[in-house]
Copies of this chain bind each other. A is one copy, B any other.
Amino acid sequence: MRMIKKSVLFLCTIALLSACTQKNTSEVTRDKKQTDAVTSTIANQSGDYRMLFIDGKYRTSSTRGYTLELATVENISAFEIGLMNLSKSEFNPSQFYFIEGQFITNEEINHWLAVKSQENPNGLNSKQENNMLISTILEQDYMILNNGNYEFSGVSIGLALNPKTTASATLTDEELLAKGKEIVNQLLPLLRAKEGFDSIPIMFGLFKQSVDNGLSHGTYFATATSNSGTSVSKWSNTKLQKRVFPLETDKTEESSVFIAFKRNVEKFFPNLNGIVGNATFTDGAMSELDIKITTQFYGQAEMIAFEQFLVEQAGMTYSASELSVKIRVETVRGTELVVYKRAGENTYHSIVLN
């Protein structure tokens, strides 16, 4: 079964989905099994990866359920989407297709995440710690379409590290980075030994979990790529930062701008229950802002007025082309209104939902 799956992925004859035929039957060269591997034909405006669909279905990673044991839901999405975003600098989305990790097995993951011992020489955690330093390993596979075949051409590995290894001690960022580097140099030879992994670029992302149970997300703090061989030495800091607005202790310009935006919105729509912003900073500059507005209104006309107002206010306040913005208006009925702009866009879109 593993061989079949690999053959589908490594080398399969494939025709792209056309608007007329919803799927194509294509022949796999190694084992002659009939299969479909298709992607969406929709132009990729958002900068996201095109997703590969195999056998007419979206294929999830088989190890995913086993390994995603992070402290909070916020950590999970930041861990997954963060690795995909980091991968874009190694594996260009206009060239590479994405598929969730297919090749690392549950058995391998279990051995790697367990404590190193004589019986388990490949364990990456050590028994000195109360909490495991490595909580999770995430695999993302990147494929290239070459003469009608999707070829496995790059892989990203996310390592979620828990800085709070004992109840009393928390590792510093330097200590965490040093430990992460060690782990990657233990893991890389194990990966290189796997079929298909021997000669492709392997990107590693080190993720620091948020250990409190608050609103904050964990973040990636360092990446490195091995193009070949069994050790990496060149690391980059990702300098990702997450901040929540408004926060009384935050006296930065970004915080003032958010507070002014919040006041303007509250002045026009007096029934609001709360406005909170979740910002992501890349290399010190705000790259993403997610705003959630909670309100109690029920009028449809009022929601359209709010839509027009928010599109205008956001356009005046958050106009930087490289900034991605999402504003959600929520009531007890759920999400009522979304106003958004992707990175690279200059105008806002909006949709009233109810």
Contacts and interface: CB of A to CB of B under 8 A. Distances in A.
B338 A53 contact: no
Contacts of A330: 334
Contact of A268 (B56, B267, B340): B56
B300 A57 contact: no
Interface stretch (A3-11, A41-49, A200-208, A237-245): A41-49
A80 interface: yes
A235 interface: no
Contacts of A308: 39-40, 42, 48, 50-51
Interface of A is mostly: mixed
Interface stretch (A104-112, A120-128, A310-318): A310-318
Copies of this chain: 2
Nearest to A297: B60
Contact of A326 (B98, B333, B351): B351
A335 B298 CA distance: 18
A76 interface: yes
Contacts of A89: none
A302 to B, nearest CB: 6
Q: How large is the interface on A (under 10, 10 to 19, 20 to 34, 35 or more residues)?
A: 35 or more
B140 A301 contact: yes
Contact of A301 (B98, B268, B306, B328): B98
Nearest to A304: B48
A282 interface: no
B353 A305 contact: no
Contacts of A338: 338, 351, 353
A307 to B, nearest CB: 8
A75 to B, nearest CB: 12
Interface in A266-294: 267-270
Most buried by B among A49, A56, A309, A340: A309
22 contacts: A17-B312, A39-B308, A40-B311, A40-B312, A42-B311, A42-B312, A50-B308, A56-B267, A56-B268, A57-B267, A57-B270, A58-B269, A64-B299, A76-B298, A80-B300, A84-B300, A84-B304, A328-B335, A334-B335, A335-B353, A340-B351, A351-B351
Given A42-B312, A51-B304, 17 more contacts: A40-B309, A48-B307, A51-B308, A53-B268, A53-B309, A57-B269, A58-B302, A58-B309, A81-B300, A81-B301, A84-B300, A84-B301, A84-B304, A100-B299, A100-B301, A100-B302, A328-B353
Interface of A: 17, 19, 22, 39-42, 48-51, 53, 56-58, 60, 64, 73, 76-77, 80-81, 84, 98, 100, 140, 264, 267-270, 298-302, 304-309, 311-312, 315-316, 326, 328, 330, 333-335, 338, 340, 349, 351, 353-354
